[in-house]
Structure 1
Amino acid sequence: MKKLFYILLIVLSINTLSAQETETVYDEKLAKELGADEYGMKTYVFCILKTGSNTTATKEERSKYFEGHMANINRLAKEGKLVVAGPFMKNDRNYRGIFVFNCTTVEEAQKLVETDPAVKAKIFEAELTLWYSSAALMEVSRISEKIAKTKI
């Protein structure tokens, strides 16, 4: 009986210790750098790239547009205007990829998306909407550089 009591006491102690949350410390400087509000959130513009209306581009033209598309992504990311970008896997909705822009209006994001050669050539069509998410997304690009063995 004594053994059972000690085992129960140990199990309860472990559960109590693991249930305690570690205290996080608010970093006001980092919050300001990332543009966070009091909840650690900020406004972005979310963009879904869909298959565009240009179905006549040759393979060589498409290759040129995609090369320009990637160069534009890298430029916008370096400028801090593009927070996240990436392609969708094959799907039945004609969704091709996403952009998350570091701006607070759809109009500003529209100007940025129009700098993409693949959008200009109507290879892609962009659908934009305001999005409220964690300001920590601003750190994705910096962290990505550290974990990517091969650069795009």
Structure 2
Amino acid sequence: MKRKLTIIALLICTLLVANKAGAQEVNKNYDEKLAKELKADDYGMKKYILVILKTGSAKDLPKPSLDSIFKGHMANITKLVNEGKLVVAGPLGKNDNDYRGIFIFDVESTDEAQKLVETDPVIMSKVMTADYYQWYGSAALKETVKIHSRIEKKSH
């Protein structure tokens, strides 16, 4: 009988420890209004679409054409940011994969991101191509645009 009580006590302790280990505390800094505004899940995360821009098939274009294409590329980026669709964009350093840059879109689907990317002159001209990936990251990433406007000394 004493052995059974010891085993039962051990099982109860094990269950209590396991339950405590699995429980998660609510963050004391949690801002429900902001989390809802940013469409964050319980972990402060959300789905985005990551686009990797790569060197395309158009090669050896004259400099005036390239200048015009990249001017349009920057204007398109600005437009997509202002629409709230694009949250991060930027070039990548030299690499062996012909990767040129990234976009991170706050849109529901890869198809929606693809339609937006197809409006970019670097894609239309085939200077670049794009690969699309679902990505799970901090919902706070969307706040980057607001912060950037406060630290950007020169605009494009």
Report the TM-score when normalising by structure 1: 0.83
- Matching residue of 2:73: 69
- Matching residue of 2:58: 54
1:36 has 2:40 as partner? yes
**Structure 2: gaps of 5 or more residues:** 1-26
Q: Which amino acid aligns with 1:27?
A: D
- Matching residue of 2:145: 141
What per-residue deviation string (whole Å, max 9, x for no partner) do you get for residues 53-99 of structure 1? 01142111111100000000000001100000000011221110000
1:123 has 2:127 as partner? yes
- Matching residue of 1:7: none
The Cα of 1:45 is off from its aligned counterpart by 0.2
Q: Which amino acid aligns with 2:139?
A: A
The Cα of 1:124 is off from its aligned counterpart by 0.7
Report the TM-score when normalising by structure 2: 0.81
Distance 1:88 1:36, change over 3 A: same
- Matching residue of 1:84: 88
The Cα of 1:128 is off from its aligned counterpart by 0.5
Cα separation, 2, equivalents of 1:24 and 1:121: 50
What per-residue deviation string (whole Å, max 9, x for no partner) do you get for residues 28-71 of structure 1? 11011111111111110000000000114211111110000000
Counterpart of 2:136 (choices 132, 139, 142) is 132
Counterpart of 2:101 (choices 78, 93, 97) is 97
Q: Which amino acid aligns with 1:81?
A: K
Cα separation, 2, equivalents of 1:47 and 1:59: 26
**Structure 1: gaps of 5 or more residues:** 1-22
Q: Which has the larger radius of gyration?
A: 2
- Identity among equivalent positions (%) equals 55
The Cα of 1:107 is off from its aligned counterpart by 0.3
Q: CA RMSD in A?
A: 1.0
The question of whether the paired residues in 2 share the 8 Å contact of 1:104 and 1:130 is answered with no
Cα separation, 2, equivalents of 1:48 and 1:120: 16
Size of the aligned set, in residue pairs, is: 130
1:106 has 2:110 as partner? yes
Q: Which amino acid aligns with 1:93?
A: N
